[in-house]
Amino acid sequence: MPEIDQPEAPEPSLPETPQTETATMPAVEEAFEEIDVDAPLVGIIMGSKSDKPTMQKAGEALHDAGIRYEVRVMSAHRDPEMVREYCHNAKMRGLRVIIAGAGMSAALPGVAAAHTDLPVIGVPVSGKNLGGLDALLSAVQMPPGVPVGCVAIDGAKNAGLLAARIINC
């Protein structure tokens, strides 16, 4: 095929950037650097590593809903200071919901709710004794003023789905 001579295109001229815009760019970049777009929206906490197989279902539900989450092991009784600090800072860090799972009458959901005004969803984890009834009562029978939403014993999947609904409201 014969080559067709193209008329030489004129050099594209860049629009002049106003001085003010150039001057403010570093400030804008700095502001954007401070926004962590990957920050988690849900904190999944649990009283022991032994709760992980049960609590994993909450993470799977959030993953399927496209909601970022983080997972931490902290016991209301063994690490009370860590729980206090985590829940106290949760809202400021951008978390919107806390899912707290614990077995026995470990009280993690209630202790979490005592240190944050974020919605706390309790997951009673079944243990070797009492089939999880102890954990269920410790989450569901909270005294007035310290609300904990409680799903079924080992109901971590519903906790994840409920957290997703709260976030998508």
Chain contacts with ligand RP5 (rule: CB under 6 A): 46-48, 50-51, 75, 102-104, 106, 125, 127
Nearest distance, CB of residue 126 and ligand RP5, angstroms: 9
22 within 8 A of 65, measured Cβ to Cβ: no
Tell me how far apart the alpha carbons of residues 88 and 64 are, in angstroms, rounded to a whole number: 28
Nearest distance, CB of residue 102 and ligand RP5, angstroms: 4
User: Whose structure tokens read 């992980």?
Assistant: 52
Nearest distance, CB of residue 24 and ligand RP5, angstroms: 51
Task: Specify the residue, 50 or 89, whose C-beta has the smaller distance to ligand RP5.
Answer: 50
150 within 8 A of 140, measured Cβ to Cβ: yes
The first and second tokens of residue 144, run together, are 């007035």
Task: Specify the residue, 41 or 105, whose C-beta has the smaller distance to ligand RP5.
Answer: 105
Nearest distance, CB of residue 122 and ligand RP5, angstroms: 11
Task: Specify the residue, 116 or 138, whose C-beta has the smaller distance to ligand RP5.
Answer: 138
Task: Annotate 69-90 with b (16+ C-beta within 10 A) or e (fewer).
Answer: bebebbbbeeeeeebbebbeeb
Task: Specify the residue, 103 or 149, whose C-beta has the smaller distance to ligand RP5.
Answer: 103
Name the DSSP class of 142.
Answer: P
